[in-house]
Amino acid sequence: MSHSFFSSLRFRLLLLVLIALIPALGLMLYSASVQRRETAAAVQADALRLARLAASNQEQVIEGARQLLLMVAHLREVRGRDPAACNALVADLLSHNRSYVNLGAADLEGNVYCSAVPSAQRLTTTDRSWVERAAQTRDFTVGDYQVGSITGKALLVCAYPVLSATDQVQAVVFAALDLTWLNQLATEGQLPGGAALAVTDRRGTILARHPDPQQWVGKVLPDELLLLTMQAQTEGVAEVAGADGITRLYAFTALRGTPKAIHVSIGIPKKTALAGANRIFTRSLWGLALGGLLAMVAAWIIGDLVILRRVKVLAGAAERLSAGDLNARAALRGGDEIGAMAQAFNEMAQRLETMVGTELRAREALAEQVKQLVAERTREVELLNQMAEMLQACQSMEEAYSVVDELAGQIFGGDAGIVFILNAPRKILEVAAVWGRSPAGEREVFAPDECWALRRGRAHLVEDTGSGLLCKHLPTPPPAAYLCLPLVAHGEALGVLHLASAAERPPGAAGLTPARQRLADAVARQLALSLANVRLRETLRIQSIRDPLTNLFNRRYMEEMLEREVRWGERKLRPVGVIMLDIDHFKQVNDTFGHDAGDAVLREVGALLQSRVRAVDVACRYGGEEFVLILPEASMDNTRRRAEQLREAAKRHHISYEGRAIGPLTISLGAAVFPDHGATAEAVIRAADAALYRAKVAGRDQVVVAE
């Protein structure tokens, strides 16, 4: 019944009436919107004037504090630093100045020696930055808003330096301004119900608030958007949805003469501010609704008498036809529009049976095509996700290339492809992965400017290589069509994805269709990002285990490898040799030639060690000018012989820096073997270190075996 009504002519007649009311409703909404904006602007303007008044009052209070502190700084009791007399003096002054929470003086270390309000704790410059500021500027200064440790109230501290007879700053007098003026100002300003006036510092901490100061003072302003707006502007208005879900109209201004970004803000609930405008809009809306209701009643009655009875006959025939009765006809006569509709309906019913059969066959064919397309896209997405997961797990570029080599051929079906990776030092692109029927004669390396995709920084498609603009890296003869996509990640070109389509493709191969081009673009983006991540992880791993100066393994890697070799030697009953060496008189090299020359010597020694070790040996920089060699399966005799060879090689090695010869270079070496000199990796290192120490004590340039 609901469906029949909404599809009926009666409903459309009623809908026409409603459409006729739309202009009036639009005008009403526009007027209400203008009135709401003007009301909100007026409320914010009034709030901004009140905020400016608060700022002006605060400026006057600060100026009064400056005059008072200027007078107090010259009093004999303060300059003489007499606590008893000074306390009595400032207590008397405080009793005549109710706008202050406390008066007093502090020395340059922040110790308060004079206070109108006694304090049970010692104050230091760590919580009174105004002491340092006044001492440095030698002038009146205003500190940050804070909660006083003496009074426990929110206050603003003003300070002035006390000068000695020799014009040196010897102390600082201070006045803590009370913020209770805020409550009086809010009362006089007659804020509407639900409105709040608050003082916040640069971090958004509420220092004073009306109403409910006890509940809010010391907490962070909950409206983060308002805090960001106030931090960006000195003065202005804003409309902010608060954390409590209430939208408020705010006006704020910075307090002059105070630290930067201290604001007075007034927030008025938008619902309260716009209550009057909302009431007017509601009354107008009810009036429009009543008029529309009367018009709809008239349309209902007249439409039924003039139109709907004939339409029901035509609708009944349509219902029978929709139920499957292809012989249904509308028995209506007349030359009006409804009669013409009935005649057209009858003609349509004659052809409907044939059309229904044709449509069913077309739907079946389309459903099969959609099913195949969905299956193909699902397979592509699954393979793309699988490649992304596998690349994410790769620890080296070689592993990543093998993953691409394995999965790219499955993704692109019968099309051949190659991934070229940019070798930045050599400024060439090299083959990293190949799949499919790669054309014979494909170049394995080429310059970046030989590929149009890298030149243009975008995909380069050639659908017919017989007439298109071809890249120079194509094989001879070229493929029938090809696509090159640059591999770019984080703004850096990594290589090229080259996809080629043969002139004769096997059954099921798609070729370089628009869908295949979109797939290739998705693969290129995913591949570039994944390869960049793998390269970054590989680089970070190398940096984590390599010493940046000598390119030897670092101490942490040495300790891990020695622990591993010792455990392996313990299981297999095989020795592990350790050589610890130190460059003789290295400090003299630094003192004579400079630290840059010392770094050059360390690099040369590192290169010497790398040239003298086996593939299974581990050469490390232990620290400073000390190095360690781990020799798996090396006996004591072999370890000693290797140490002697290193010592002789170092003596023959000539080092120069900036044309000046450094040398002769000699090294001292200590040798130890697991398990002869220790049952653990740590013990073997200690034994080698002790042997090295004995070698240096015995005159250097020699090898000493651990005891």
Measure the CA–CA gap between 266 and 49, rounded to whole angstroms.
Answer: 10
Identify whether 368 is part of a domain: no
Identify whether 502 is part of a domain: yes
Predicted local confidence at residue 439, as pLDDT: 47
User: Which token pair is 605?
Assistant: 């020694």
Smallest CA-to-CA distance from 600 within 497, 592, 506, 290 is with 592
In angstroms, the Cα distances linking 12 to 1, 346, 417, 430, 689 are: 16, 24, 60, 70, 99
Predicted local confidence at residue 376, as pLDDT: 75
Predicted local confidence at residue 68, as pLDDT: 82
Please check whether residues 537 and 677 belong to one and the same domain: no
Point out the domain boundary residue: 258, 274, 290.
274
Point out the domain boundary residue: 501, 523, 541.
541
- Dump strand ranges (E) for 590-666: 618-623, 626-632, 655-657, 660-662
Please check whether residues 158 and 196 belong to one and the same domain: no
Point out the domain boundary residue: 125, 156, 178.
178
Measure the CA–CA gap between 332 and 452, rounded to whole angstroms.
Answer: 71
DSSP 511: -
Identify whether 119 is part of a domain: yes
Q: At what angle do helices 555-572 and 514-545 cross, to 10 degrees?
A: 80
In angstroms, the Cα distances linking 16 to 196, 408, 514, 570 are: 49, 60, 46, 95
Please check whether residues 490 and 608 belong to one and the same domain: no
User: Which token pair is 602?
Assistant: 């360390």
Identify whether 157 is part of a domain: yes
The residue behind tokens 């992880």 is 537
User: Which token pair is 462?
Assistant: 């050639």
Task: Note whether 479 and 415 are within 8 A (CB).
Answer: no
Please check whether residues 698 and 575 belong to one and the same domain: yes
Which parts of the chain have pLDDT scores under 70? 1-5, 7-10, 119-128, 144-154, 179-193, 212-214, 217-218, 242-244, 256-261, 303-306, 308-310, 334, 357, 414, 437-442, 502-511, 542-543
Predicted local confidence at residue 126, as pLDDT: 46
Please check whether residues 215 and 157 belong to one and the same domain: no
Predicted local confidence at residue 220, as pLDDT: 75
Please check whether residues 592 and 686 belong to one and the same domain: yes
CA 13 to chain centre: 56
State the CATH number of the domain containing residue 161. 3.30.450.20
Predicted local confidence at residue 438, as pLDDT: 55
Predicted local confidence at residue 26, as pLDDT: 83
Please check whether residues 471 and 585 belong to one and the same domain: no
Identify whether 39 is part of a domain: no
CB atoms within 10 A of CB 41: 12
Measure the CA–CA gap between 553 and 610, rounded to whole angstroms.
Answer: 10
Please check whether residues 110 and 224 belong to one and the same domain: no
Predicted local confidence at residue 1, as pLDDT: 43
Measure the CA–CA gap between 409 and 251, rounded to whole angstroms.
Answer: 64
Which stretches within 618-662 are classed as H helix? 636-652
The residue behind tokens 């901004």 is 48
Residue 704 backbone dihedrals phi, psi, to 5 degrees = -125, 130
Please check whether residues 258 and 396 belong to one and the same domain: no
Predicted local confidence at residue 213, as pLDDT: 67
Which stretches within 325-430 are classed as H helix? 337-393, 397-412
Measure the CA–CA gap between 650 and 605, rounded to whole angstroms.
Answer: 8
DSSP string, 535-564: HHHHHHHHHHHB-TTT-SB-HHHHHHHHHH
In angstroms, the Cα distances linking 466 to 439, 478, 684 are: 16, 9, 71
Length of the chain equals 707
Please check whether residues 558 and 694 belong to one and the same domain: yes
Measure the CA–CA gap between 203 and 584, rounded to whole angstroms.
Answer: 57
Predicted local confidence at residue 689, as pLDDT: 94
Please check whether residues 605 and 662 belong to one and the same domain: yes
The residue range of the domain holding 466 is 388-541
State the CATH number of the domain containing residue 435. 3.30.450.40
Measure the CA–CA gap between 210 and 198, rounded to whole angstroms.
Answer: 6
Query: CA-based angle 254:255:256, to the nearest 5?
Result: 110
Q: Could you give the number of structural domains in the chain?
A: 4
Measure the CA–CA gap between 447 and 426, rounded to whole angstroms.
Answer: 9
User: Which token pair is 114?
Assistant: 């004079």
| Alpha carbons within 13 A on the beta-carbon side of 698 | 15
Please name the helix (run of DSSP H) or strand (run of DSSP E) that holds residue 164, with its range, or none.
none
Identify whether 103 is part of a domain: yes
Smallest CA-to-CA distance from 332 within 315, 313, 347 is with 313
Please check whether residues 159 and 192 belong to one and the same domain: no
Identify whether 15 is part of a domain: no
Measure the CA–CA gap between 142 and 61, rounded to whole angstroms.
Answer: 12
Identify whether 359 is part of a domain: no
